[in-house]
Amino acid sequence: MVRSSAAVWRSLLANEGLSAADLSAVKDAHSIAIARFAMKHSPFYAEFYRDHGFSLNDLEDPSAFYELPLLTKEMIREHADEIRSDESTERNSVTSMSSGSTGEPLKVLRDLRVHARAYEWRLQRWWGIEPWANTATIDRHYRTASARRKQALLWWPSTRIQLDTFDISDEALEAFASAWKRTRPEFLIGYVGGVVALARLARVKGIEFESPRAIGVTAGPLPESQRAEIEDFFGAPAFDHYRSSEANWMAGECDRQSGLHTFDDIKNVEIVRDGVHLMDESEGEVVITDFENKVFPLVRYQLGDLSSRILAPCACGRPHSRISPVRGRTSDFLVLPSGKVILGGLTGLYAGANEYVRQFQLHQQADYSIIVRCLLTEHPDAVEVAEKRLAALRANVDGEVPVSLEIVDEIRPTRGKFRFIMSDAPKTTATTQR
Ligand SMILES: [Zn+2]
């Protein structure tokens, strides 16, 4: 596994030597190839493209790609079984859940033959970090003890330490700080909100961290003020990058910190407005095509984030195109009156429960109490399931504020956009990102 990830990584490195025009040609060839694959091997795409007047023959022409209809989250939600390709087996596919920006759970299949680890290494290299560097992560993966042991073996001799964003308690923070002292990570990677929250809490508590060489942050806009705060606290440069649970690594900053280079050799990252692929620098929606997922093809998939292209070549000389920092994603954390941060995991509150819960929204009130609004299905057990899942959130809140369920008929967008987590609470040691 590790060795083939290394092979993938070497091929990514080789692509960095291409000219911008050659890399763009590689991108166009892969784009039309995966569209053709999808039409041949996925019942959904066969019908979808045929209904829009495309034949397999039409997909011999690379320029046809940019005319293909867009795939929406709603389509994935409704047609997941038909999107699955005939290449998908139990061995090569695994379900990945994400909440989607509206808080409705979204199920996609990941292709286990894809070496996403190599994509992380690519970014690390751009940031001056070797693949085997000791790493600290701030994320929301719940690893079992046996999974942790397996991971430790896989990454020997490097060490990975982890802070779980679902609950940055005093104990967890102290344990993380002492693991940091012991392993001296060269690289810190995590969610923007988590890294900022860690920096603020550690500052308040007088906990210091020996500087890593670089910090990678993702899953939220990185305002310059927060970048400065992170860099100041940790004494290392902080780099933004862009990934999603549906399509792993998509783009990242280079050492120039001026826009995100898209991974044009493994993804087509487009900016689209009103269905039209934009060639200029105006703002639009991010639409991605994953060249490598052959069990659940994602072709011209609307992620729901906003960005714009940067047309000028980057001073670093890399051939990869650039986009401006991605906006419009929901932040995923709440702060309690004590300063405790409940972070990550919130968007997954009803993951796997779409039989019962159609949509939900977390709304923290001015008095810090939390209302979870649920739009339920007709299922007779829907209320019970909605309540049960709330227990996990209540356990994390640990009685500090009330958490209540509100069953609603509709969840309305705010300022034209669904907001998945909202907070009217006064800002304390950490602030929400909106
Ligand atoms: Zn660059």
- From the candidate CATH numbers 3.50.50.60, 1.20.1260.10, 3.30.300.30, 3.40.50.720, the one assigned to the domain spanning 333-423: 3.30.300.30
Instruction: Say how many C-beta atoms besides its own lie within 10 A of residue 60's C-beta.
Output: 10
Instruction: Please state, in angstroms and rounded to a whole number, the distance separating the CA atoms of residues 250 and 217.
Output: 13
Higher pLDDT: 359 or 385? It is 385
Give residue-wise pLDDT tens across range 23-43: 999 999 999 999 999 999 999
Question: Measured between alpha carbons, how far is 254 from 258 in angstroms, rounded to an integer?
Answer: 8
Enter the CATH code of domain 128-236: 3.40.50
What whole-number distance in Å separates Cα of residue 146 and Cα of residue 136?
Answer: 19
Q: Where are the domains of the chain?
A: 2-115+244-323, 128-236, 333-423
- Find where tokens 């308040």 sit: 204
Q: Does 290 score more than 90 pLDDT?
A: yes
Q: What are the pLDDT digits (tens) for 143-182? A: 455 555 555 555 555 677 888 765 567 788 888 999 999 9
pLDDT tens-digit readout, 90-147: 999 998 876 554 555 678 999 999 988 899 999 999 999 998 899 998 876 544 555 5
Say which DSSP state 65 is in. G
Alpha helix segments (H runs only) across 42-72: 43-51
The alpha carbon of 172 and the centre of ligand 1 are apart by a number of angstroms equal to 36
Q: What is the per-residue burial (b if ≥16 Cβ within 10 Å, else e) of 89-126?
A: eeeebeebbbbbbbbbbbbbbbbeebbbbbbbbbbbeb
SS3 324: coil
Q: Give the pLDDT mean for 81-95.
A: 95
Task: Give distance in angstroms: CA of 255 to centre of ligand 1.
Answer: 7
CA–centroid distance, 316 to ligand 1, in Å, is 4
The residues pairing with 95 across neighbouring beta strands, listed in sequence order, are 109
Q: What is the C-alpha separation between 358 and 377, in angstroms, rounded?
A: 6
Between the CA of 290 and the centroid of ligand 1 the distance, in Å, is 22
Give me the mean pLDDT over the 390-417 stretch.
80
Look over the chain and give the mean of its residue pLDDT values, rounded to a whole number: 85
CB distance 250 to 262 below 8 Å? yes
Q: Which residues contact 306 (CB under 8 A, 6 or more apart)?
A: 283, 284, 285, 286, 326, 327, 328
Q: Is the peptide bond before 297 cis (omega within 30 degrees of 0)?
A: no
- Residue 303 near residue 315, CB atoms below 8 Å: no
CATH placement of domain 2-115+244-323 = 3.40.50.12780
Residue type, 393: L
Environment of ion ligand 1 (residues, CB < 5 A): 254, 256, 314, 316, 318
Helices (H), 346-408: 382-397
Confidence of residue 5 (pLDDT cuts 50, 70, 90): confident
Distance 163 CA to ligand 1 centre (A): 30
Q: What is the mean pLDDT of residues 264-288?
A: 94
pLDDT digits (tens, 9 = 90+) for 209-238: 999 999 999 876 677 878 898 999 999 999
Q: Judge whether 2-115+244-323 and 128-236 match in fold.
A: yes
User: Which 3 state secondary structure label does DSSP give 214?
Assistant: strand
> How far is it, in rounded angstroms, from Cα 90 to Cα 93?
6
Q: Which residue is it, tokens 């069953």?
A: 407
Q: In the predicted model, is pLDDT for residue 344 greater than 60?
A: no
Has residue 303 got a pLDDT over 80?
A: yes
